[in-house]
């Protein structure tokens, strides 16, 4: 089986978590969430967790050097080498994207695509308000979304400049959004295959498709 190397981006409330799970089932990559890795380190009380905790609590980003080295270590582990990855929550900054590009170039396994699951701010706000969790006041939600916006805009520009960005309209039912995602991913895999930057046939590419 050939492996895929994907980045998924999307606002909180965009359905990114659900779709990430489905993409993992469909293409078989390892789901790498840097937020989950950091939370696990905090829970385990490791040195890394101690360094990250205060920053995470304050809603600040962990430093690029620290997060880059965590990701670099994870990318060379056997399961990721074999199955590829779906990165979630990383890269967060253009510097992280440049670092990722470097790690992958070194390994000779370039990124296939970064998909941005796009759901308008008003819609994700309405979804989160409807969900009604205690920390989901409208003001709190706006603040988190503003932060995401300012963080992500330069990152989207970086991926677009490197011809690695596909925007998928996330405003539809789960099945439709999933079909949109797989069709852009399959398209990228075919292009990579034709360029010879991939080995083997794309996982979901039916013969003659
Ligand atoms: P998340 O679950 O992706 O929202 O991540 C939770 C927190 O972990 C963030 O608010 C950051 O403090 C930290 N974090 C996760 N991923 C990164 C990253 N790529 N760069 C810097 N900090 C990160």
Q: Which residue has the higher pLDDT, 2 or 16?
A: 16
Averaged pLDDT for residues 70-98: 97
Q: Is 39 a catalytic residue?
A: no
- Percent of the chain with pLDDT strictly greater than 70: 94
Atom number of ligand 1 nearest to Cα 89:
3
Whether 116 is in the pocket of ligand 1, judged by its Cβ within 6 Å, is: no
State the DSSP string of 116-145.
EEE--HHHHHHHHHHHT-TT--HHHHHHHH
113: pLDDT confidence band, cut at 50, 70 and 90? very high
Nearest CA, atom 15, ligand 1: 35
Residue 154 · residue 93 · CB < 8 Å: yes
Its pTM stands at 0.91
Q: Is 53 a catalytic residue?
A: no
User: What letter would DSSP give residue 198?
Assistant: S
pLDDT score, position 199: 56
Q: Closest Cα partner for 109 from 191, 1, 6?
A: 6
Instruction: Please tell me whether residue 58 adopts helix, strand or coil conformation.
Output: coil
Q: Which residue has the higher pLDDT, 123 or 197?
A: 123
Segment 36-73, tens digit of pLDDT? 999 999 999 999 999 999 999 988 899 999 999 999 99
- From 59-73, 82-96, 114-128, 137-151, the region with the lowest mean pLDDT: 137-151
Distance of CA 28 to CAs 20, 174, 190, 204, Å? 11, 19, 17, 11
Exposure string over 108-125, b if 16+ CB within 10 A, otherwise e = ebebbbbbbbebeeeebb
User: What letter would DSSP give residue 29?
Assistant: -
Which of 16, 180, 188, 198 is labelled catalytic?
16
In 3-state terms the chain splits into helix, strand, coil percentages (rounded to 5) of 60, 15, 30
pLDDT score, position 143: 85
pLDDT at 206 over 50: no
Q: Sketch out the chain's domains with CATH numbers.
A: 4-32+85-195 (3.40.50.300)
Alpha helices (runs of H) in 47-93, residue ranges in sequence order:
47-57, 64-75, 78-83
Instruction: Please tell me whether residue 31 adopts helix, strand or coil conformation.
Output: strand
pLDDT score, position 196: 79
pLDDT score, position 134: 73
- From 15-19, 101-105, 131-135, 190-194, the region with the lowest mean pLDDT: 131-135
Distance of CA 203 to CAs 29, 180, 189, Å? 11, 16, 9
* CA 41 to mean position of chain CA atoms: 20
Segment 144-177, tens digit of pLDDT? 888 889 989 999 999 999 999 999 999 999 999 9
Q: Is 127 a catalytic residue?
A: yes
Average pLDDT, the chain: 91
The preferred substitution site among 51, 72, 89 for testing ligand 1, maximizing ligand atoms within 8 Å of CB, is 89
pLDDT score, position 133: 78
pLDDT at 132 over 70: yes
Q: Is 180 a catalytic residue?
A: no
Whether 66 is in the pocket of ligand 1, judged by its Cβ within 6 Å, is: no
Residues paired with 166 in a beta bridge: 115
């Amino acid at each position: 089986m050939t492996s895929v190397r994907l980045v998924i981006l999307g606002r909180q409330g965009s359905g990114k978590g659900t779709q990430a799970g489905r993409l993992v089932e469909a293409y078989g990559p390892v789901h790498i969430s840097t937020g989950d890795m950091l939370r696990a380190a905090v829970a385990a009380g490791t040195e890394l967790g101690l360094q990250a905790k205060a920053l995470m609590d304050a809603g600040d980003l962990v430093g690029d050097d620290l997060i880059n080295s965590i990701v670099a270590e994870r990318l060379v582990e056997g399961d990721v080498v074999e199955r590829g990855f779906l990165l979630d929550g990383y890269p967060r900054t253009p510097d992280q994207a440049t670092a990722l590009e470097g790690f992958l170039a070194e390994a000779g396994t370039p990124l296939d695509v970064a998909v941005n699951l796009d759901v308008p701010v008003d819609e994700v706000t309405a979804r989160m308000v409807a969900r009604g969790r205690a920390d989901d006041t409208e003001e709190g939600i706006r603040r988190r979304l503003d932060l995401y916006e300012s963080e992500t805009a330069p990152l989207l520009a970086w991926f677009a400049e490197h011809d690695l960005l596909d925007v998928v309209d996330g405003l539809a039912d789960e099945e439709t959004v999933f079909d949109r995602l797989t069709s852009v991913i399959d398209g990228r895999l075919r292009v990579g295959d034709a360029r010879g930057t991939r080995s083997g046939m794309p996982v979901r590419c039916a013969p003659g498709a």
